[in-house]
């Protein structure tokens, strides 16, 4: 009976940590995704002067949100994907500061897609399992 309670306790601990991981990573992906969507709207709204303070600040905010939360994501995520997203953030910031609208638009859309794909990749959904 003692072994049964130990197994139940261990199972409860594993499920608790799995739930916390899902909660934290979902929150992190959602916050990054929201920041990128706001940056995309700002990029599309300011076609003439892309390097305005609002757009630069939104892109820097999205990068800061990603940087703040990416460390725990590296535990279970492919490091190449994390590095790729890091490189895209650096590119986005340089393109916005350089007033390069076409490249910035493409880069922010790639980042949005990567974050969505990364979220799908990490969670056990029917399409991942099957």
Strands (E), the chain: none
The rounded mean pLDDT for the chain is 85
Angle between helices 53-73 and 101-122 (to 10 degrees): 30
Q: What is the DSSP letter of 47?
A: S
CATH of domain 27-129: 1.20.120
* pLDDT reported for residue 118: 82
The Cα 38–Cα 23 span in angstroms is 23
CA 90, 92, 95, 97 torsion-angle sign = negative
Kindly list the domain boundaries of the chain, sorted by start residue.
Answer: 27-129
The Cα 55–Cα 88 span in angstroms is 16
pTM of the entire structure? Answer: 0.80
At residue 35 the predicted structure's pLDDT band, cuts being 50, 70 and 90, is very high
């Amino acid at each position: 009976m003692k072994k049964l309670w130990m197994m139940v306790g261990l199972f409860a601990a594993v499920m608790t940590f799995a739930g916390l991981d899902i909660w934290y990573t979902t929150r992190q992906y959602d916050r990054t995704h929201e920041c990128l969507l706001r940056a995309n709207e700002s990029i599309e709204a300011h076609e003439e002067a892309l390097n305005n303070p609002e757009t630069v600040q939104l892109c820097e905010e999205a990068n800061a949100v990603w940087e703040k939360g990416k460390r725990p994501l590296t535990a279970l995520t492919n490091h190449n994907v994390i590095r790729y997203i890091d490189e895209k953030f650096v590119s986005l910031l340089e393109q916005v500061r350089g007033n390069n609208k076409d490249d910035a638009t493409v880069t922010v859309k790639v980042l949005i897609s990567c974050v969505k794909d990364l979220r799908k990749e990490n969670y056990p959904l029917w399409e991942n399992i099957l």
